[in-house]
A and B are shown apart, each in its own frame.
Chain A
Amino acid sequence: MKKLRKYAVITRISLQNAIAYRAAALSRFGFYTLFIYIFMMLWRAIYKEGSVHGYSYEQMVWYLIFTEFVGFSCGTGIFNAMNEDVKSGAVGYLLGRPVHYVLYQFFNSMGQMLLNFASFGLLAALLGYLFVGPLPGFTLARVPAVLLSVALSLTLHFFFLMLIGLSSFIMEDNTPLFLIYQKLCFMLGMLLPVEFLPAWLQPVAKNLPFSYIFWAPAKLFVGGDAGLFWTLAPRQALWCAVSIGLVFFVYGRSVRRLQVNGG
């Protein structure tokens, strides 16, 4: 219980920090709005040319608003922060504290994630209503399942970013790893629903973790039923467990290689 309390304090302080520096969020609001606007216009042009099976135009715009909302909610800069910690040697100071480094990073980012979730959630709802009106067929009964799915996808995304951040213990420049991960997420669910991919690629995408970060919660949001939730959520939970396990394993192995010089 005492252990949990110290992590709760870390989260509280990080939330206070995030609120204090809320002006920095303004530029991210601008980018989010710009991105949604451009893709809304693009999909409008695409839907003018013909129909895209399975998704109406409104569903498609809400799908994008939702996947971007998940992406921006997880925007804590954890990859860069861990890179910087390892390269600058600051990780040495954190290792000496009475907290586990991985848990410290997770709870330290939680405050920013909570603020992002609330502020981008509001902005997402506002933009959706403004651009295409309410999501057809959406009922409040869908909310708990969607929230649980979002929580799982944020955890999954966060721990994958941490895993890539930890690679800086081994690699001098791990930016390409980050870019590859980011683009796999883009292609397998963030910009396009998995159903839009070629038939041969769909089963591959559904067996990889990347689709469960953006596609799964957005699919549940725009048109999911209880049956779909019970198909997607266990897979999300499984990939979460794998990513968390991998982070602790890699951290345990990497920290043994750590050499910090200087005084």
Chain B
Amino acid sequence: MKKHLKIMACYFRLNLASALEYRSSFLTQAFGMALSNSSFIFFWWIAFSQLGGRIAGYSFEDVLFIWATTSAAFGLGTILFANASRLTTLIVTGELDAFLLQPCNVLVNVLCARTNLSAYGDLAYGFILMGLAFGGNADAWLWFLVGTAAGCLVYTAITLTAHTLSFYLGDASLIGQLATEFSINFSIYPEKIYGPAVRALMYSVLPMGLAIHIPLRLSREFSPLIALAALAGTVLYCVLAGLFFYRGLRRYESGNVMVTRL
């Protein structure tokens, strides 16, 4: 475990150093992403000012909470594990060979090898939004941080699972893109707008509800049972995603391709 964390820290340092080499591009991408997220808050502001009160049981503050947590979780996930969404490309082109030959955990090595510059904007946006909406509310901050950590892991596990299907089906990039879109959209709208079938999906196949909507519920009213169940669900989903990857990896056939990793 210590070795894995060391590799992750090393990748993070190198990726950040590489991003900072192109400082203006890094800053404009991060700023652009934060700006992009803000436009949706404008939408919600208009919707709530039209109606006042609540929408599907959520107040404006609740919506800000799920937006901040989703944005920070997605940002952290794509800063640390951006390569999850490239897994299909690695499998289809045979570039995965390079990762298999290195003397460290394949999954950690694959997931951490790349970062996404605009994700820093998402992460910063989550914290700024929380600061503006909740100020020094310690409860809200605690559950925001828990949601961010859990959301980062669940989002990565969903992306990994969807792209792992490429071991079985060939190019599963479309499934990967749809899984990402569904996961994000399940997180940034009040869960009660969806019917029971979609809500069941939010807590099983694409369990972003565990990481985003449950922390909101716990910040309103703490329940140790719900907290434990959500934690267990998150850990179980991530473990299963890892096992699914390794099972799929057995089916991988080398592309016999020469790759240089710079």
Overall SS of chain A's interface: helix
Interface pair B50/A52, CB less than 8 Å apart: yes
| B46–A173 touching, CB < 8 Å | no
Q: Is B220 an interface residue (CB 8 A)?
A: no
Name A50's contact: one of B31, B38, B51, B189 (CB within 8 Å): B51
Judging by beta carbons under 8 Å apart, are B181 and A172 in contact?
A: no
A178 to B50, alpha carbons, bound, how many Å? 29
- Bound Cα distance A87, B171 (Å): 29
B43, A38: Cβ atoms closer than 8 Å: no
The range of chain B's interface size is 35 or more
**Which residues 121-153 of B have a CB within 8 angstroms of A?**
none
Contact B178 A30 (CB under 8 A): yes
Query: Cβ of B243 < 8 Å from any Cβ of A?
Result: no
User: Contacting A187 at CB < 8 Å: which of B29, B43, B54, B182?
Assistant: B43
Pairwise interchain contact A183-B39, C-beta atoms closer than 8 A: yes
Q: A238 near B: Cβ within 8 Å?
A: no
Question: CB-CB contacts of A40-54 with B at 8 A, as 1s and 0s?
Answer: 011011101110100
Question: Does any Cβ of A come within 8 Å of B193's Cβ?
Answer: yes
- A105 CB-CB contact with B under 8 Å: no
Please report the C-alpha to C-alpha distance between residue A191 and residue B51 in the assembled complex, in whole angstroms.
16
The answer to the question of A80 belonging to the interface, with a C-beta cut-off of 8 Å to chain B, is no
- B194 located at the interface, meaning its Cβ lies under 8 Å from any Cβ of chain A in the complex: yes
User: Contacting chain B: which of A71-79, A108-116, A192-200?
Assistant: A192-200
* Beta-carbon contact of A196 and B46 below 8 Å: yes
Question: Which residue from chain B places its CB closest to the CB of A42 in the assembled complex?
Answer: B193
Q: Given that A27-B174, A46-B47, A183-B35 are known contacts, is A172 also in contact with B42, CB under 8 Å in the complex?
A: no
Chain A 235-247, CB-CB to B under 8 Å as 1, else 0, gives 0000000000000
Q: Mark A84-125, 1 if CB is under 8 A from B, else 0.
A: 000000000000000000000000000000000000000000
Q: By the criterion CB–CB under 8 Å, are A38 and B189 in contact?
A: yes
Interface residue B32 (Cβ < 8 Å from any Cβ of A): yes
Q: Are A26 and B36 in contact (CB under 8 A)?
A: no
Q: Is B51 a contact of A46 with CB atoms below 8 Å?
A: yes
B259 at the A/B interface (Cβ < 8 Å)? no
> Are A187 and B36 interface neighbours, CB within 8 A?
no
Q: How far is the CA of A50 from the CA of B46 in the complex (A)?
A: 14
Closest to A44 in B: B193
A42 surroundings in chain B (CB, below 8 A) = 55-56, 189, 193
Known: A46-B47, A176-B32. A31 touches B181 (CB 8 A): yes
Identify the closest chain A residue to B34 (Cβ). Answer: A179
Top 5 nearest A-B pairs (CB, nearest first) are: A183-B39, A45-B56, A176-B32, A179-B32, A41-B193
Q: 6 A-B Cβ contacts within 8 A?
A: A27-B177, A34-B178, A34-B182, A44-B193, A173-B29, A175-B29
Known: A41-B189, A49-B51, A176-B32; 14 extra A-B contacts, CB below 8 A, are: A31-B178, A34-B178, A42-B56, A45-B56, A50-B50, A173-B28, A175-B28, A180-B32, A182-B36, A183-B36, A183-B39, A192-B43, A192-B46, A196-B46
Binding site for A on B (CB under 8 A): 24-25, 28-29, 31-33, 35-36, 38-39, 42-43, 46-47, 49-56, 174, 177-178, 181-182, 185, 189-190, 192-195
Measuring CB to CB, which residues of chain A are less than 8 angstroms from any residue of chain B?
Answer: 26-27, 30-31, 34, 38, 41-42, 44-46, 48-50, 52, 172-173, 175-176, 179-180, 182-183, 186-187, 191-192, 196-198
